[in-house]
């Protein structure tokens, strides 16, 4: 099928900026760039507009969208040798709003050091201070209620009015109960209760995360509804085209440096072209922005030649440097009377809760009752001593600046090496999960809670590359979890610590059936068993990033500090792909704030060209 140089009906021949991917970052850019009436923007999204869909809007129904082609790209990894050759599922939003439309809505802020590490690997203009105004700009964080503060031990948040005034609505909810209290009491007894607000980048210990849920409507607050409001959509200088698959970026290669001139699109099988007079901006996410670059001739010569794609910019770093947070899920049977989300397996319970939500937005379907904790390096004895940390890291090679930067975070006793999550249901792990829902649908007859252990700053680096020149073929994603042996050593120690949290004498342990089942039926107190738990129970936290890394080109960079693609003009990447080092915690706050900052950079660059 050849592509035609005429624009599709309804489209102009040329726009100033074409944004590829109307996801989390793409919607931010579409809004901010069209604040200037003189700037004409085309936003292209492969999926549909689902902003009024109850499955997307109702927080408690999120599992209903996974694996369905109209919502979810549903990627699978190659088998992971360090995880008993299991295949890891990677849900990705395929709709306006992207992954913010199907994520778990946890809203946490990164640690300061994990963002300062971006400067340490060659980006002096990117550190926590530089990102801070944007971490505040994207959201409005509601005030937690007195009862929530009490149950969740929130002693540090004295806000009486909302924090920030950004588009994404963030709230704490009301549904916290005995299990949350047990979580906080347990961490307090271990002297690991956070005394600081996570927003300042220095939280350590258990704290109550907020959620991207609008407190007024109890609906998911995500980029497509918050940044593309009816007023924004009505702007004459913004054109949004959904159900439009971008095949590749087009270049003018006649000058000294290739210039991006537009994109080739596929709408219902009709392939055509549209031009960008200033820039093409890729915001297709960490698996697909590198895919589009490779399909366009930007990438490793070897890979491009293998697929008969003419090389426009040779850069073997495209699709490399892929990072993700590994998460180990251990489920524990609860005592009779302890609340568990597993009761939703009963259709009568689900119906009753749906009725409550429909009637007045009350009940658990409108909120999230997850709680979290950040801890330094821990093991079965608690926080590992300075001597113990030194021993663990002795004799290893940290000559690579990125490894040194990660080491500096992980070994810092004031930094969160781990994030723990208290999840209100059982989690099922399959060798080849069909989709994300496979993990969430309760298959065991007993009721459980799950404690999740996340390594915040992994050393391992994976990859994502095209396997064909067909733009619709899924790329090959190999996260290479734990290929750096240190990750397994660290994760296993984090798993050992879980035994403290669920011990019979702990407040959380008292809510569990201590003679009941565990998934897996293993106790992780010795290191070898803890490693086996990782092999059996680790999946992805869905925080893929780093595949078009912002770093100096000679150190594996794909974009510079202004997020411009090396070796080409008029081409940027703005999404999680550019993270040079994975930040601590759930990353949507960082994606939003990077996109907010990128919008300012793009505006500045346009002004500079005009002058
Ligand atoms: C299941 C799940 C749970 C998560 N839970 C949380 C959480 O609780 N808290 C948190 O902070 N983070 C969470 N995350 C992570 C967070 O949501 C993502 O990191 C973030 O949304 C990624 O934003 P992005 O802009 O990089 O990509 P996306 O938001 O994924 O946007 C990419 C967009 O590009 C479109 N696209 C792709 N290819 C093309 C093409 N060829 N042509 C046109 N359009 C294309 C896609 O359809 C999509 O809309 C979760 C993610 C997932 C998947």
Ligand 1 center from residue 547 Cα (angstroms): 14
Distances (CA, A) of 407 to 114, 453, 486, 595: 11, 19, 10, 27
220 within ligand 1 shell (Cβ under 6 A): no
pLDDT in tens, 94-127: 999 999 999 999 999 999 999 999 999 999 999 9
What's the pLDDT at 148?
Answer: 95
46 within ligand 1 shell (Cβ under 6 A): yes
- Would you call 465 a catalytic residue per the annotation? no
pLDDT band of 7, cuts 50, 70, 90: low
What's the pLDDT at 332?
Answer: 98
What's the pLDDT at 158?
Answer: 85
Reported in sequence order, the residue ranges of 133-255 that DSSP labels E, i.e. its strands, are 139-141, 168-170, 205-207, 210-211, 213-214, 219-220, 238-241, 245-252
99 within ligand 1 shell (Cβ under 6 A): yes
What's the pLDDT at 156?
Answer: 87
Ligand 1 center from residue 287 Cα (angstroms): 9
3-state secondary structure of 356: helix
Query: For a pLDDT cut of 70, what percent of the chain falls above it?
Result: 99
Ligand 1 center from residue 459 Cα (angstroms): 23
Cα–Cα dist 207/469, whole Å: 46
What's the pLDDT at 1?
Answer: 43
Residue 112's nearest CA partner among 122, 120, 102, 101 is 120
pLDDT band of 609, cuts 50, 70, 90: confident
> For residue 346, with 0-12 CB atoms within 10 Å meaning exposed, 13-18 middle and 19 or more buried, which class applies?
exposed
Q: Per the structure block, which two tokens stand in for 538? A: 């680790």
pLDDT at 3 over 70: no
Q: What is the mean pLDDT of the chain?
A: 96
Phi and psi at 237, nearest 5°, equal -95, 10
Query: Of 325, 428, 465, 543, which is the active-site residue?
Result: 543
3-state secondary structure of 601: helix
Which of 65, 69, 241, 284 is the best mutation target for the ligand 1 pocket, counting ligand atoms within 8 Å of the beta carbon and taking the most? 284
pLDDT at 9 over 90: no
296 within ligand 1 shell (Cβ under 6 A): no
What's the pLDDT at 104?
Answer: 97
């Amino acid at each position: 099928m050849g592509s035609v140089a005429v624009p599709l009906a309804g489209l102009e021949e040329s726009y100033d900026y074409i944004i590829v991917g109307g996801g989390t970052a793409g919607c931010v850019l579409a809004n901010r760039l069209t604040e200037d009436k003189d700037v004409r923007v085309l936003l292209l999204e492969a999926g549909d507009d689902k902003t009024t869909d109850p499955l997307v809007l109702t927080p408690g129904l999120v599992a209903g969208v996974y694996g369905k082609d109209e919502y979810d790209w549903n990627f699978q990894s190659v088998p992971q040798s360090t995880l008993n050759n299991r295949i890891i599922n990677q849900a990705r939003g395929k709709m306006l709003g992207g992954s913010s439309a199907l994520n778990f809505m946890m809203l946490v802020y990164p640690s300061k050091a994990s963002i300062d590490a971006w400067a340490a690997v060659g980006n002096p203009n990117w550190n926590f201070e530089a990102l801070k105004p944007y971490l505040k700009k994207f959201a409005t964080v509601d005030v937690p209620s007195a009862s929530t503060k009490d149950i969740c031990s929130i002693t540090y948040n004295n806000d009486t009015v909302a924090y920030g005034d950004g588009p994404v609505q963030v709230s704490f909810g009301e549904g916290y109960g005995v299990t949350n209290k047990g979580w906080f009491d347990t961490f307090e007894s271990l002297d690991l209760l956070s005394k600081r607000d996570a927003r300042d980048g220095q939280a350590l210990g258990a704290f109550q995360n907020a959620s991207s849920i609008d407190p007024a409507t109890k609906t998911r607050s995500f980029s497509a509804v918050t940044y593309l409001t009816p007023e924004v959509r009505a702007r004459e200088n913004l054109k949004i085209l959904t159900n439009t698959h971008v095949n590749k970026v087009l270049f003018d290669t006649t000058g000294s440096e290739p210039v991006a001139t537009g994109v080739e699109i596929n709408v219902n099988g009709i392939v055509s072209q549209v031009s960008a007079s200033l820039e093409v901006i890729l915001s297709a996410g960490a698996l697909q922005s590198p895919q589009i670059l490779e399909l366009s001739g930007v990438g490793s010569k070897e890979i491009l030649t293998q697929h008969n794609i003419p090389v426009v910019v040779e850069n073997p770093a495209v699709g490399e440097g892929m990072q993700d947070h590994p998460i180990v899920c251990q489920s524990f049977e609860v005592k009779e009377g302890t609340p568990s989300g597993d009761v939703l397996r009963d259709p009568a319970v689900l119906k009753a809760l749906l009725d409550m939500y429909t009637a007045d937005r009350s009940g658990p379907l409108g909120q999230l009752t997850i709680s979290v904790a950040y801890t330094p390096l821990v093991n079965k004895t608690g926080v590992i001593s300075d001597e113990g940390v030194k021993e663990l890291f002795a004799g290893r090679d940290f000559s690579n600046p990125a490894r040194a930067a990660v080491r500096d975070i992980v070994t810092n006793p004031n930094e969160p090496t781990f994030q723990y999550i208290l999840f209100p249901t059982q989690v099922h792990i399959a060798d080849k999960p069909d989709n994300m829902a496979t993990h969430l649908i309760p298959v065991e007859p007993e009721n459980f809670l799950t404690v999740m252990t996340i390594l915040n700053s992994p050393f391992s680096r994976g990859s994502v590359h095209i396997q064909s020149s067909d733009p619709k073929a899924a790329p090959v994603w190999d996260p290479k979890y734990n290929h750096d042996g240190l990750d397994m050593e660290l994760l296993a120690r984090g798993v050992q610590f879980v035994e403290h949290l669920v011990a019979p004498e702990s407040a959380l342990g008292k809510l569990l059936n201590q003679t009941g089942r565990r998934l897996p039926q293993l106790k992780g107190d010795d290191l070898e068993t803890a490693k086996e738990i990782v092999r059996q129970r680790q999946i992805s936290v869905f925080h893929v990033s780093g595949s078009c890394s912002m770093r100096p080109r000679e150190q594996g960079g794909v974009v510079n500090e202004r997020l411009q693609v090396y070796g080409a003009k008029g081409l940027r990447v703005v999404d999680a792909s550019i993270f040079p080092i994975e930040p601590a915690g759930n990353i949507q706050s960082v994606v939003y704030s990077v996109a907010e900052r990128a919008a300012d950079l793009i505006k500045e660059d346009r002004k500079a060209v005009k002058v």
